[in-house]
């Protein structure tokens, strides 16, 4: 398959599909962190290039429920949420047969539609908690591959005692937190390659 991984700088999902033999390309405004097929630029430049599958990771800064309280406090932020939602609609309506759009719990659920699935990294072998929503077009939900012991109340390696993400504030915290966990990327590549 020809696979476009939109809004991915890390190469994690791209490399998982490439390892399965697919022609996979990541695309982001940022350069890739990992050597591989990467287009540095606007995804709209390559959206109509005949892809069979797109995995999209639109930026969550103005979409995530955790930050929406700032929309009434910071001038211009509400408009940025509207622009982010328009970008999500553009991705979901792309002329690609199979699409998965990934984001944390966000206003996409109330403003566009509810996600088709919510997954956790610890369902796929990564000792981490990060509720991840998937909006799917012509794709089945992911099936757990390597569920770790415990449940949603179990504290994972990336959490503090109170359940918050334990990464300290830094200039690149957003970048580290936005990376897809390898177990989820492998599950996407393995399970959706079968289509």
pLDDT tens digits along 13-51: 999 999 999 999 999 999 999 999 999 999 999 999 999
Q: What are phi and psi of 80, to 5 degrees?
A: -65, -35
The continuous run of DSSP H or E covering 167 comes out as none
Among the residue ranges 123-132, 135-144, 165-174, the one predicted with the least confidence is 165-174
The predicted structure's pLDDT at residue 178: 79
What is the three-state SS of 115-140?
A: CCEEECHHHECCCCCCCEEEEEECCC
* Neighbour tally for 52: CB within 10 Å: 14
* DSSP3 helix / strand / coil % (the chain, rounded to 5): 30, 20, 50
Q: Model-level pTM?
A: 0.92
pLDDT category at 172 given cuts 50, 70, 90 is confident
Q: Domain boundaries in the chain?
A: 2-58+84-193
Question: What was the pLDDT predicted at 65?
Answer: 87
In terms of Cα–Cα distance, which of 84, 42, 46 is closest to 63?
A: 84
The tens digit of pLDDT for each residue in 133-155 reads 999 999 999 999 999 999 999 99
CATH of 2-58+84-193, picked from 3.40.50.150, 3.40.50.11540, 3.30.2310.20, 3.40.50.300, is 3.40.50.150
CA dist., res. 183 & res. 126, Å (int): 6
**pLDDT at position 3, please?**
98
* Residue 74's pLDDT band (cuts 50, 70, 90): confident
Asked if 97 contacts 52 with a C-beta cutoff of 8 angstroms, the reply is yes
Q: Which two tokens mark 144?
A: 């757990």
Tokens of 72: 């009434």
Question: Which residue in this structure is represented by tokens 């970008």?
Answer: 87
DSSP state of 31: P
Alpha carbon distance 97, 144 (integer Å): 24
């Amino acid at each position: 398959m020809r696979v476009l991984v939109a809004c991915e700088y890390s190469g994690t999902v791209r490399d998982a599909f490439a390892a399965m033999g697919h022609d996979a390309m990541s695309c982001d405004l940022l350069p890739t962190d990992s050597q591989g097929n990467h287009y540095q630029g606007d995804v709209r430049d390559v959206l109509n290039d005949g892809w069979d599958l797109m995995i999209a990771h639109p930026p969550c800064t103005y979409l995530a429920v955790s930050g929406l309280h700032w929309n009434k406090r910071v001038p211009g932020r509400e408009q940025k949420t509207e622009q982010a939602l328009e970008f999500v609609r553009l991705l979901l309506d792309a002329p690609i047969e199979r699409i998965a759009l990934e984001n944390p719990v966000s206003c996409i659920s109330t403003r566009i539609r509810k996600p088709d699935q919510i997954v956790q990294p610890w369902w796929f072998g990564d000792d981490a908690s990060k509720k991840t929503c998937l909006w799917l077009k012509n794709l089945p939900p992911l099936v757990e591959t390597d569920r770790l012991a415990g449940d949603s109340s179990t504290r994972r390696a990336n959490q503090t005692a109170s359940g918050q993400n334990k990464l300290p504030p830094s200039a690149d915290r957003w970048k580290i937190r936005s990376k897809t966990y390898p177990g989820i990327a492998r599950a996407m590549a393995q399970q959706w390659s079968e289509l």
